Amino acid sequence: MGSQEVLGQAARLASSGLLLQVLFRLITFILNAFILRFLSKEILGIVNVRLILLYSTTTFLAREAFRRACLSGAAQRDWSQTLNLLWLTVPLGVFWSLFLGWVWLHLLEVPDPNAIPHYGAGVVVFGLSAVVEVVGEPFWVLAQAHMFVKLKVIAESLAVILKSILTAFLVLWLPHWGLYIFCLAQLLYTTVLVLCYVIYFAKLLGSPEPSKQHRLPVSRMVDLLPSVTRGRAFVNWKEAKLTWSFFKQSFLKQILTEGERYVMTFLNVLNFGDQGVYDIVNNLGSLVARLIFHPIEESFYIFFAKVLEREKTATLQKQEDVAVAASVLESLLKLALLVGLTITVFGFAYSQLALDIYGGSLLSSGSGPMLLRSYCLYVLLLAINGVTECFTFAAMSKAEVDRYNFMMLVLSSSFLVLAYILTRCCGSVGFILANCFNMGIRIAQSLRFIHHYYCQSPHRPLAGLFLSPILLGAFAFSGGVTAISEVFLCCERGWPARLAHITVGAFCLVLTLGTAFLTETQLVHFLRTQLGVSRCKAT
């Protein structure tokens, strides 16, 4: 498979992932606003911080390293050994679920059962849901490796929609169930998600000649189960060693990704109500970043991993592939910078208004607006880091991955200390400031690797981080005008003034995007080309 074909598939996967994320986040966005009217912010704090952290930590530690290792070089492997390796995620998931569940029940502060009943049941069910989801890991990796886009769209959409319908129904009719509502919804989500993948492959492999039609390495459902063959190792030990390297890295990355939740959970720097407010603002602040950058990072990691060979420098690889990878990386960096700057510039002037519309004075008063403004700056760094690490993790050799692990260890320790200190001084805003500091260091490390990787080639993908002076001027003009508009038109002067403030922002946004369209012609061409490829493939 050529690099251009892989690029087309990655773009198609990113587009479908973007549509999925739009659907998921809009549903979650509406659902949270609905729940705020019926349940206390303390219950939201327990669910969205404490229990979701248990679930995400279990699934991340059980499968993330296997995903990264088993999606590299998928065309050149013995899939029976790869599937054997992937099934090891199940006992690993059971172990982490039991261990972390014990920690959540016996070492952490238990909520007052009168205010938040059924906490123990919540821990058990969320841990169980993580194990259920890990059971589907071999099917997920096989589908991702062969770019089964429609399967991903249908499975995740159906699971999220059913979960949201059940949650809304129970909140409306049985709000006194409390945590039971979210337990049932979470278990439904993971069960539906796994069943969709299992049923799809069962139907596909039951059709005539599925292997030839879809280039599958298996022909029967039984081939997806663990198998032992004489004269051959149970797993590919090179893959296993790479998995171990990624596991050490994943453990540290999880601390950095969910660091503020770990600090809130283990150090009790905020009460459950404040945790709920922080989580709502955090989700609102990261809405656009998750809509756009997560599917891009996930999809183009697969592209880079397939096009580039880990143990070779850029000069020793096929130059056509190296050139395509450099061009794609430059365009992705430019896209990340533009979207991140747009969120930062316009988010500063519209944070308070957004929070007031979404949650009323509960969110728009106090530290909410400053928290969201700080998060807008963090989104810029988050966007750039997602793209740079997407390339870095796909191109690093095993030795480089191990060296990076040590840096992540130091970074994880410094983050926890810094987050604790800044939270004591600045409240919940301290979490965002600590995240910005650590994200900046991670970006610097990735940029250093990219520069070294391409230093002996004619390609300079880091040029994507430079914008034209005209476009920078447009951003500065929009930031100044919207800041003045907020002072005179928002947010306590009634809806006519608010609508005027929104109109000013819309005008400045159109001006900025128009300037970007005229000045960043290479990025526009990349988006037109890849989105066009995605639409053609989808039809």
Tell me if 521 is assigned to some domain. Answer: no
How many residues are recorded in the chain?
Answer: 539
Q: Name the band, by pLDDT with cuts 50, 70 and 90, for residue 97.
A: very high
Neighbours of 463 (CB within 10 A): 12
How many angstroms separate the CA atoms of 74 and 396, rounded? 16
pLDDT at 4: 59
Span 28-55, mean pLDDT?
A: 82
- Pick the last residue of a domain from 180, 211, 239: 239
Most confident segment among 142-151, 349-358, 517-526: 517-526
Neighbours of 90 (CB within 10 A): 18
- 101 and 200 share one domain: yes
- 187 and 284 share one domain: no
* Among 430, 450, 479, CA closest to 385: 450
Span 419-439, mean pLDDT?
A: 86
- Model pLDDT for residues 389-416, shown as the tens digit of each residue: 889 988 888 788 778 877 877 777 788 8
- 186 and 273 share one domain: no
> Count of domains in the chain?
2
pLDDT at 539: 43
Token representation of residue 36: 């705020």
* Among 192, 168, 195, 196, CA closest to 182: 168
- 195 and 307 share one domain: no
Weakest-pLDDT range from 142-156, 358-372, 439-453: 358-372
pLDDT at 91: 95
211: pLDDT strictly greater than 60: no
Tell me if 29 is assigned to some domain. Answer: no
Whether the model clears a pTM of 0.85, i.e. scores above it, the answer is no
- 483 three-state secondary structure: helix
How many angstroms separate the CA atoms of 10 and 534, rounded? 9
- 300 and 235 share one domain: no
- Model pLDDT for residues 6-22, shown as the tens digit of each residue: 556 565 655 555 566 66
How many angstroms separate the CA atoms of 147 and 301, rounded? 13
- 126 and 210 share one domain: yes
pLDDT at 22: 64
- 217 and 275 share one domain: no
538: pLDDT strictly greater than 70: no
Segments forming the whole domain that contains residue 317: 258-461
Tell me if 404 is assigned to some domain. Answer: yes
Span 132-155, mean pLDDT?
A: 86
pLDDT at 535: 47
- 86 and 149 share one domain: yes
Helix intervals (H) in 174-215: 179-205, 210-214
Token representation of residue 273: 């109500």
The type of residue at 349 is A
% the chain with pLDDT above 70: 88
- Pick the last residue of a domain from 416, 434, 461: 461
Question: What CA–CA distances, in Å, run from 453 to 179, 322, 392, 440, 441?
Answer: 50, 10, 9, 20, 18
How many angstroms separate the CA atoms of 93 and 58, rounded? 6
Q: Which of residues 123 and 319 earns the better pLDDT score?
A: 123
% the chain with pLDDT above 90: 33
- 210 and 266 share one domain: no
Most confident segment among 82-86, 103-107, 143-147, 350-354: 103-107
Q: Which of residues 68 and 32 earns the better pLDDT score?
A: 68
- Pick the last residue of a domain from 428, 461, 494: 461
- Model pLDDT for residues 227-254, shown as the tens digit of each residue: 877 767 788 788 888 888 888 767 767 7
Q: Which of residues 77 and 226 earns the better pLDDT score?
A: 226
Tell me if 283 is assigned to some domain. Answer: yes
26: pLDDT strictly greater than 80: no
- 274 and 214 share one domain: no
Token representation of residue 296: 């891009």
- 267 and 411 share one domain: yes
Average pLDDT, the chain: 84
CB-based contact 261:416 (threshold 8 Å): no
290: pLDDT strictly greater than 70: no
* Among 298, 250, 331, 268, CA closest to 140: 298
- 84 and 57 share one domain: yes
Tell me if 140 is assigned to some domain. Answer: yes
| Alpha-carbon torsion (182, 188, 189, 191), positive or negative | positive
Q: Which of residues 41 and 142 earns the better pLDDT score?
A: 142
Token match 């049941």: residue?
121
Span 179-189, mean pLDDT?
A: 95
How many angstroms separate the CA atoms of 215 and 467, rounded? 42
* Among 17, 440, 50, 68, CA closest to 251: 68
* Among 385, 177, 214, CA closest to 297: 385
How many angstroms separate the CA atoms of 380 and 345, rounded? 10
pLDDT at 74: 47
| Alpha-carbon torsion (518, 521, 527, 533), positive or negative | positive
How many angstroms separate the CA atoms of 165 and 184, rounded? 12
- Model pLDDT for residues 295-316, shown as the tens digit of each residue: 777 778 888 888 888 777 777 7
223: pLDDT strictly greater than 60: yes
Residues in Cβ contact with 90 at an 8 Å cutoff, skipping those fewer than 6 apart: 131, 134, 135, 137
Task: Quote the longest CA-to-CA distance of the chain.
Answer: 78
Span 69-77, mean pLDDT?
A: 66
How many angstroms separate the CA atoms of 524 and 527, rounded? 5
